Structure formats: C-alpha cells, structure tokens
Structure 1
Amino acid sequence: MTRHVRTADGCRICYDEAGSGDPLILIHGFAQSAAVFGAQLEALAGRNRVIVPDLRGHGRSDKPSRGYRIARLAADVRELIFELGLTRVSLLGWSMGCAVVWSYWDLFGADRLHKLVLVDQSAMLVNRKGWTLGFLDPDQLFRQSDAIRADYPSWARGLTDLIAAGLPDSRKELLVEESLRLPTEAADALLFDHCANDWRDVIPTITVPTLVIGAKQSPVPADAMRWIASSIAGATLALFEMGHFMFIEEAEDFNRVVGDFLASAESHEERI
C-alpha cells in the first residue's frame, strides 16, 4: 500500500508498507526508489512491518529544489519514524542508503533503533592516502559532477552498466528509467555530498546489533564490508556470490539471511 508523510520543510515522502510486527525500514540507494526492493517487501513482511520510502527527489516523492544532502535524507527518515510513531525500528540501507543510516546514527544515535543492516557500501567512497577501499579517486569526483550536468541520461546508463552488470538488459533499462526520475540538479548535488562524506569515525560507535552484507562480484570491494564488520562490535558479516544488486540476483538467500538476523540475536561471523 502506498502512503505518504510530509516533512517539516514541506516535502512529501511516499512509502510502501506491508506486514506487521517490529518495523523494518528499507532505504534505497542513489537515484533508485522503493521499487528496487520489490523482492523484499512481501517476503520480509511475514514477521515485520516493512516500510519502504522513496527518498526525497526519488521515485514518487516530491522533488524540491533543496535538501539533497545525506544529513537531510537521514532527517527525513527520522521524521517518517516519528510521524508513524515507530519504536524498535530496524534500518536496512543499501548502497547510498548505508550513508543515510550512518548519518542517522551520527545525528540521533540509538533512539528508537533496534537493529541495522548495512548492504554493500564503503565507509568512504573517495580513495586517499591510507584508504583504498573506495570507489573513486579524488579528481573523479569532480569529473562525475561535470558528466552528470553535461548528459545525465548517458551518465546514468554508464553507472547502471557498472553496478548492475549481472542483471538482464531489460532490468537495467528499468533502473535507468528510475534514475532519471531524480532531477539532474538534485543528482549532482546529492552524489557530490554522498561521495564527500567519510563515515570511518561514525561506524565504530554503532552499538546496536548489525548485519553487514557484501557481494563478491560487486564494484564495492568485499574488504570494504569486512572493514565495516570488524569496526562494529558483535557485527555479523554475510558475503553473497553475485553483485551490487544481490538482493535481486540472490533474492531468496538474501531474504533468508536478513529475516534470520531480524528474528534472532547474531554473533560476529563471516558467511560465504
């Protein structure tokens, strides 16, 4: 069922919802939407109230001229939680959604949170001296901004080809179409902010039970996910065989691993 809440700055945030029980909020990545979690919404609703928002500027949500920063997206999630009166909330962030989760933790701590699931996102996207688990070199960040402004559709197709290599062309085209629902100016501002953040000081402060998920064929290095798991006390690490969209490519296994984690306490271990 599609519903919406309105944030303090007037942005309408649309979301899908299914199931009952402890709430689980699924947070999508850059230039995607709730639609990407089609294989999770009902599958995880057997034991949880699953809520899947379109972040501001994305999907069906409003596209204001401001607010395209990770911290604002985290505040939007906070407002969604309060508007719905949620407690014991588990947050699952995929790709940029992890940055939204980390920002939420940085700003609001453990208030109303129960568990975290962090899916395939490096703690810092830009490589620098002493850090090689990112996605870009520093000069590439500015080139990405120029490329988005010059030809956003072509840039979106190039990104999709890179991160969704294991998906069929028909599915890739749907991902591109979804990407283009995010306005060009918003895409440029949000990606720059996303890539400029360094969460390495925040991640070790997480104290709630956390599941970290990576993928062996993803552009995000598996070692980046190992670093995150080793930085959070008691975290569980699961590595899937496929790529960045492992929750589509290996949906049944993904849903089982996430569902089992949400249903019970987990110890630190690596699953292959």
Structure 2
Amino acid sequence: MAIQGGKYIKIEPGVELFVQDVGIGDPIVFIPGWTFTTEVFSKQIEYFQKTNRVIVMDPRSHGRSSITLHGNDYVTHGADLVKVIEALELKNVTLVGWSFGCLTIWEYIKQQGTENIKSLAFIDLSPKPLSINHEQDWVEGPLDEIAAAYTHYLQDRDKQREFISGYATGVMVQRELEENELSWLVEQSLKTPHYIAANLFASGMFSDYREEAKLASESVPVLTVIAEHWAPIAKAFTERISPKSSIEVLGGHLMFWEHDEKFNTMLENFLMENS
C-alpha cells in the first residue's frame, strides 16, 4: 500500500529508514516509541501537515525500516536521527518524541547539541526510566517489575504479544479498546522481532539523560506531556530535572492518539507561542 510522502533514507550500507515527509513549512519530526511505527502519529500527520512540513520516521528495526542485528540501542538511534535530519536538509527543527522516542532526541542532543533545534516536545518518558528510588523518581516501574518484564515477556513472539497487549489495555489508553484497535497496536509492535525488542528495552531502561534534559530546557522551548496515571511524581521530577520545561498532563501513555484533538491543540499552542 502506498504511503503518502513515504520514502527511504539510506543510513549505512544495508540499513534504510522509512520516513513520511509531507506538507510545507517549519519542520516537525515525530519519533515513535519502543517497537512502534509512523502509524501511531497518523492523526498528527493529518493535522499538522496543513501548516508545517511533517516528518515521521520508523527507527531502525521498527515498522518498514530495515531489521538489523546491530545498532539496536538509543545511542545508534540518536546517530540515525542526525543522519535523517542531514539527508532531508532540515533547519530549525521541532522534534517530538513519544516514550522511548524521547531517548532518541536526548541522544541527538548529546551528540549534536541544540543549535539546529527550534523547540522540543517530550511525550511521557522520564530521562532516567529506571531507579532504585522508584517512589520519588519518575520511572517506568519498580526494578523487580522491569526485570520480570525483560526476563519473562521478551523472550519469544507469543510473550511479546501478551506483554504489549497488556500494556496497551492497562497503560496506553483510558477507554476500552475495540478488538481491531488492540490488534492494530499489537501488530505494530510485533514488526520488531522479540530479540531486538529485548535489546531496545534494556538499552532504554538503563539510559540516563538527565543532563541532556536539563540542557534542553535551558537552551530551547521544551514541552513535556505527562500521562495522568503518574502525574504527581512525574511532574515533580520534571520540575526538578528540567525546571524550564512547560508541563501538561493528559490521558494515558498514548494520549496523542486517544485524545488527539486536545493533544494537537496543546502542541499547536506551544509551537505558536514559540514561533
């Protein structure tokens, strides 16, 4: 099936990343989270392409991009983002990351700084996703729960399906998903093989980008959007780590899809205020 604005960018020999590139105007790059694809941002593509150049990418080993046995970590994903921005000759760009896609942006900042960035939006991820002090720090979960997810659910395809299904219904949305919606979410995740999903899971969980988060909020306008279920801890953590970030609270982990009108207005207002 043809995808509007779909193209491939060669990152290195044997590795191509799929991107959608539509619209005209100031560029916005959307980066999906762990094992997800450009498809999650369909409502943002539709909305923002009316006023902006919108680029959405499948990271390596996600979606339509090349499945590789190397580079399945967020240091490499950050380097890949550098190459995508260079290949598309993007200037003064707004980067929007969801979940582990935020790690890609923080790694980009670690490698390139913020000189070519106009603004940043981070959707529902701590710059330090794992901590033994999980009652005060914004983390993905207690250490034992994260370890159990890695050792039990990411060791074969069936367990990966079970894991993402439970995560989708329990954390990503606030309403009951229809069967076809749940199948769509699960099938996106399964495009990344379980052994690569496990690598990315570990790489993400052991990341620590607190310094880059602080630098970002001091250098350019930053919006942090937090899901309601951990808002008190996440808001306090964000205010401590990146105090100049604007903070909004909305929905579940996939709020930009479930509550797309509210999210799009929120992001649009942020962009207009910082244009």
Fold shared, TM-score > 0.5 on shorter chain: yes
| Aligned pair partner of 2:209 in 184, 196, 199 | 199
| Aligned pair partner of 2:171 in 134, 143, 163 | 163
Say whether 1:100 aligns with 2:112: no
Shift of 1:198: 1.7
TM score, norm. by length of structure 1: 0.90
Q: Secondary structure at the match of 1:263?
A: helix
Say whether 1:36 aligns with 2:40: yes
Aligned partners of 1:226 and 1:56: how far apart in 2? Answer: 33
Aligned partners of 1:195 and 1:113: how far apart in 2? Answer: 25
Aligned partners of 2:123 and 2:129: how far apart in 1? Answer: 14
Shift of 1:132: 3.4
| Aligned pair partner of 2:187 in 169, 177, 180 | 177
Q: Which residue is equivalent to 1:46?
A: 50
The answer as to whether partners of 2:25 and 2:53 remain within 8 angstroms in 1 is yes
The answer as to whether partners of 2:92 and 2:116 remain within 8 angstroms in 1 is yes
Shift of 1:187: 0.2
Deviates more, 1:9-18 or 1:69-78: 9-18
Aligned AA (1:157): S
Aligned AA (2:160): Y
Q: Which residue is equivalent to 1:210?
A: 222
The answer as to whether partners of 1:123 and 1:228 remain within 8 angstroms in 2 is no
Q: Secondary structure at the match of 2:121?
A: strand
| Aligned pair partner of 2:14 in 10, 32, 45 | 10
Aligned partners of 1:155 and 1:235: how far apart in 2? Answer: 32
Say whether 1:250 aligns with 2:259: yes
- Written as runs of structure 1 = structure 2, the 5 A alignment for 1:135-146 is 135-146=140-151
Aligned AA (1:89): V
Q: Secondary structure at the match of 2:155?
A: helix
Aligned identity (percent) is: 26
Shift of 1:4: 1.2
Q: Deviations over 1:150-196 (max 9, x none)?
A: 42222222222222242523312210010000011110100001001
Q: Secondary structure at the match of 1:20?
A: coil
Aligned partners of 1:258 and 1:222: how far apart in 2? Answer: 21
- Structure 2 spans left out of the alignment, 5+ residues: none
The answer as to whether partners of 1:71 and 1:103 remain within 8 angstroms in 2 is yes
Q: Deviations over 1:229-261 (max 9, x none)?
A: 553353211112x21111112111111111121
Aligned partners of 1:149 and 1:232: how far apart in 2? Answer: 35
Aligned partners of 1:53 and 1:225: how far apart in 2? Answer: 28
Aligned partners of 2:76 and 2:212: how far apart in 1? Answer: 17
Q: Secondary structure at the match of 1:190?
A: helix
Q: Which residue is equivalent to 2:64?
A: 60
- Please state which structure has a larger fraction of its residues in helix: 2
Aligned partners of 1:202 and 1:265: how far apart in 2? Answer: 20
Shift of 1:64: 0.8
Q: Which residue is equivalent to 1:124?
A: 128
| Aligned pair partner of 1:153 in 161, 165, 168 | 161
Aligned partners of 1:11 and 1:83: how far apart in 2? Answer: 14
The answer as to whether partners of 1:17 and 1:41 remain within 8 angstroms in 2 is no
Q: Secondary structure at the match of 2:144?
A: helix
Aligned partners of 2:26 and 2:236: how far apart in 1? Answer: 28
Aligned partners of 1:157 and 1:192: how far apart in 2? Answer: 19
Q: Secondary structure at the match of 1:99?
A: helix
Q: Secondary structure at the match of 2:249?
A: strand
| Aligned pair partner of 1:81 in 72, 80, 85 | 85
